[in-house]
Chain A
Amino acid sequence: MNEVTGISGHNQPDSETLVEIFSKAMLIKLCDDRIRAVLRSGKIVSPHYSPRGQEVVSAAMATALRQGDYLVTIYRGLHDHLAKGVPLRQLWAEYAGRVTGSCKGKGGPMHITHPEAGVVVTTGIVGSGIPIANGLALASQVRGEDRVTVTNFGDGASNIGAFHEALNMASVWKLPVIFLCHNNRYAEHTRYEDCTAVDSVATRGIAYTMPGVSVDGNDPVEMYRAATAAVDRARRGEGPTLIEARTFRFEGHNYGDPGHYIPKDVYAAALADDPLPKFRAKLVSEGHADEARVAGIEAKILADIDDAVAFALASDWPEKAELRRDVFVQELAA
């Protein structure tokens, strides 16, 4: 682990923990594969920001968290949503714009919200979830709870003012928050090094006297150790941590982006290093789970996805009156 400053990772994940991380990561991959297939079929029309390639980051982090811990994420949030426990049916129905969706079809996939699993904010505005995470953590601090808040964002978001303001405040107030940067090396079509003044986002922690750790986000063990270290620190009331999880996105910025701006050799190398088959092989070869168990996990996920897709497409559209509901607590007059 490349420790930029401060904390060191610990907590070697045991076999069951690795299986849990794997199950979440595979759920994300298979669900994302299906979303892109359904979008291609035209049965659902929606923007989609695939997290393919970044699954392990979210799966390991969520495994280090409790259900009650808060999670804030972005438009590229499917991996975080699923890892933290948003039910598949509600997720799919939201993609389909149906009233049974997690936000009654009103928010859409860019704004998935499921407080029961701690998924409290999904935003489409770059950087803006980071200060909100401070507020969630502030509430926990004031109430004396040991709840932790994780806010996920991209490498590009580390260049916006909100990131810098929020890190400073979190450090001054010692908030129980984890800033998890998914550095997938691109912000839309802009290469990380062409728009960022530091080699590693993690070094930005130095400016705010906060531990900054840079890890291989696609390595479940490294990622899990960094996550648990940051979670423990936050729970103990010792303050925030900045984690830079180095990863790559396989499907371009959004659905329909062919990724022409990514040099061919870079793309090919990243794809050849797909974390999912590697993780699967590791589970079996190291004896954490046998082939039959892994295959069973995958079969169950596929069946659950089939169920969720069918549920979503059979669900009703929201009625017009929904436009008057939830603007305020009280429904607007017709």
Chain B
Amino acid sequence: MNALVTPNNKGEISCTQASLMAMDEAMERDPTVLVFGEDVADQEGGGIVGATSGLSTKYGSSRVRSTPIAEQAIVGAAVGAAIAGMRPVAEVMMMNFMTVAMDQIVNHAAKIRFMSGGKTGVPLTIRTMSGVGGGFGGQHSDMYEAWLAHVPGLKVVVPSNPADQKALLTSCIFDDDPCIFIESTLLMGTRGPAPEADYSAPLGKAKIVREGGDVTLIGYGRPMVDAAMAAEALSKEGVSVELIDLRSIVPFDRDTVMNSVAKTGRAVILHEAVRSFGVGAEISARINEELFGQLKAPVRRIGGLDCPVPFSAALEREYMWSVERIVDTVRTTLD
């Protein structure tokens, strides 16, 4: 059957189309792939941003279902179906609503393989969406990747561009462990080159976006856009930034990060989630443990401030990262 996504005449797709492309191909290839979540079927518009548009028409209402508003039941059903040998892709519309399903995610999806001594496993994927900067306020903007990464047994993936979004979601769907796939609300409409048919992005493999020798800048997700701009601005000042897109938080690509920081001796970690007790703290600790003697400056972190995401645009701007904040922070490592 016809693919649901065709790149535009510049060969580009949006991040929304990237997710759709991954699910379309996965459903075509493997009849155990199921998709369900609030409003995902075509009668309900094919998802709030259209990421599942066409799937229910193409694959039928048995495999693609809109659900009641019931995150606990949605994720629980994904856990059960996964144990029974399916590959469910459950959608939790926004990441803050995942809190409602935390029991299923933390106590069940993450631990069932271990607690059953490997007798059962949970090959599910939960797609969700979040991010700061849209004026959505305290209950529609949070990034909880650090919470999830703190639970052994969950894989946590955050793409930053359409090609990776497609390839990483494919990897998640066919991975035999539970994967949380976090899409950026404000990137969903962003276009970029469509991936080649054979492009793949294995989980646990970071991408060196730009090579450099002075300082390593590590990030993931939407802030990568500004990180690239900051790296470009710094290069005009003669500062050579090595930019790493982590892509998956768990598994963590130790080798790529450590090799880079061993080379540059300086590291800055950037994420949109709250800085305190976040992913940046963990990476910083690992860098210090492995490379203490070789560091030329303290490892620095950029993240959200220690407060809920504010509604007012004036406050949200102050809360979040910016190109200037990245540039300034990188400069502080250069003495």
A residues contacting B by CB (< 8 A) are 45-47, 94, 97-98, 103, 105-111, 123-128, 156-157, 159-162, 187-190, 194-196, 260-261, 317-318, 320, 322-324, 327, 332
Bound: A36/B40 CA distance, A: 27
Bound: A157/B70 CA distance, A: 8
Instruction: Indicate if the CB atoms of B137 and A195 lie closer than 8 Å.
Output: no
Known: A126-B69, A196-B68. A324 touches B139 (CB 8 A): no
Instruction: Indicate if the CB atoms of A124 and B314 lie closer than 8 Å.
Output: no
- Please indicate the chain A residues that have their CB under 8 angstroms from the CB of B99 in the complex: 125
Question: 6 closest Cβ contacts across the A-B interface?
Answer: A108-B311, A97-B312, A105-B312, A317-B314, A159-B68, A124-B139
Known: A107-B138, A322-B310. 13 other contacts (CB 8 A): A47-B136, A97-B313, A106-B311, A108-B312, A111-B138, A124-B140, A162-B100, A189-B44, A194-B66, A195-B68, A317-B314, A323-B307, A327-B306
- Please indicate the chain B residues that have their CB under 8 angstroms from the CB of A126 in the complex: 69, 97
- Please indicate the chain B residues that have their CB under 8 angstroms from the CB of A123 in the complex: 139
Instruction: Indicate if the CB atoms of B311 and A105 lie closer than 8 Å.
Output: yes
Instruction: Indicate if the CB atoms of B39 and A190 lie closer than 8 Å.
Output: yes
Instruction: Indicate if the CB atoms of B69 and A157 lie closer than 8 Å.
Output: yes
B residues contacting A by CB (< 8 A) are 38-39, 43-45, 48, 66-73, 96-97, 99-100, 135-140, 305-308, 310-315, 318-319
Instruction: Indicate if the CB atoms of A106 and B139 lie closer than 8 Å.
Output: no
Bound: A327/B305 CA distance, A: 11
Q: Once A and B bind, how many residue pairs between them come within 8 Å at the CB atom?
A: 127
Known: A106-B311, A323-B315, A323-B318. A189 touches B69 (CB 8 A): no
Most A CB contacts (10 A, CB to CB) among B70, B73, B97, B99 go to B70
Known: A124-B137, A125-B96, A260-B45. A187 touches B69 (CB 8 A): yes
Instruction: Indicate if the CB atoms of A195 and B66 lie closer than 8 Å.
Output: yes
Which listed residue, B69, B96, B139, B305, touches A160 by the CB 8 Å rule?
B69
Known: A125-B97, A323-B305. A161 touches B135 (CB 8 A): no
Instruction: Indicate if the CB atoms of B312 and A98 lie closer than 8 Å.
Output: yes
Bound: A188/B39 CA distance, A: 8
Instruction: Indicate if the CB atoms of B100 and A125 lie closer than 8 Å.
Output: yes
- Please indicate the chain B residues that have their CB under 8 angstroms from the CB of A187 in the complex: 38, 68-69
Instruction: Indicate if the CB atoms of A110 and B139 lie closer than 8 Å.
Output: yes
- Please indicate the chain A residues that have their CB under 8 angstroms from the CB of B136 in the complex: 47
Instruction: Indicate if the CB atoms of A188 and B38 lie closer than 8 Å.
Output: yes
Which listed residue, B66, B137, B138, B314, touches A190 by the CB 8 Å rule?
B66
Bound: A98/B310 CA distance, A: 12
Which residue of A is nearest B136, CB measured? A47
Which listed residue, B68, B135, B140, B310, touches A46 by the CB 8 Å rule?
B135
Most A CB contacts (10 A, CB to CB) among B97, B138, B314 go to B314
Instruction: Indicate if the CB atoms of A107 and B69 lie closer than 8 Å.
Output: no
Which listed residue, B100, B135, B315, touches A47 by the CB 8 Å rule?
B135
What are 19 A-B pairs at a CB distance below 8 A?
Answer: A94-B311, A97-B313, A105-B314, A108-B138, A126-B69, A128-B100, A156-B68, A160-B69, A161-B73, A188-B44, A189-B45, A190-B44, A190-B66, A190-B68, A196-B68, A261-B45, A323-B310, A323-B318, A327-B307
Known: A105-B312, A189-B45. A332 touches B306 (CB 8 A): yes
- Please indicate the chain A residues that have their CB under 8 angstroms from the CB of B70 in the complex: 159-161
Instruction: Indicate if the CB atoms of A111 and B139 lie closer than 8 Å.
Output: yes
- Please indicate the chain B residues that have their CB under 8 angstroms from the CB of A94 in the complex: 311
Bound: A45/B38 CA distance, A: 26
Nearest chain A CB to B235 CB, angstrom units: 30
Nearest chain B CB to A212 CB, angstrom units: 19
Nearest chain A CB to B40 CB, angstrom units: 10
Instruction: Indicate if the CB atoms of B69 and A97 lie closer than 8 Å.
Output: no
- Please indicate the chain A residues that have their CB under 8 angstroms from the CB of B38 in the complex: 187-188, 190
Nearest chain A CB to B80 CB, angstrom units: 16
Instruction: Indicate if the CB atoms of B67 and A195 lie closer than 8 Å.
Output: yes
Most B CB contacts (10 A, CB to CB) among A161, A189, A196, A324 go to A189
Instruction: Indicate if the CB atoms of B314 and A45 lie closer than 8 Å.
Output: no
- Please indicate the chain B residues that have their CB under 8 angstroms from the CB of A332 in the complex: 306-307
Nearest chain A CB to B96 CB, angstrom units: 7
- Please indicate the chain A residues that have their CB under 8 angstroms from the CB of B135 in the complex: 45-47, 97, 108
Known: A123-B139, A188-B38, A260-B45. A156 touches B312 (CB 8 A): no
Which residue of A is nearest B71, CB measured? A160
Instruction: Indicate if the CB atoms of B305 and A107 lie closer than 8 Å.
Output: no
Instruction: Indicate if the CB atoms of B100 and A160 lie closer than 8 Å.
Output: yes
- Please indicate the chain B residues that have their CB under 8 angstroms from the CB of A189 in the complex: 39, 44-45, 48
- Please indicate the chain A residues that have their CB under 8 angstroms from the CB of B140 in the complex: 110, 124
Known: A159-B69, A195-B66. A45 touches B315 (CB 8 A): no
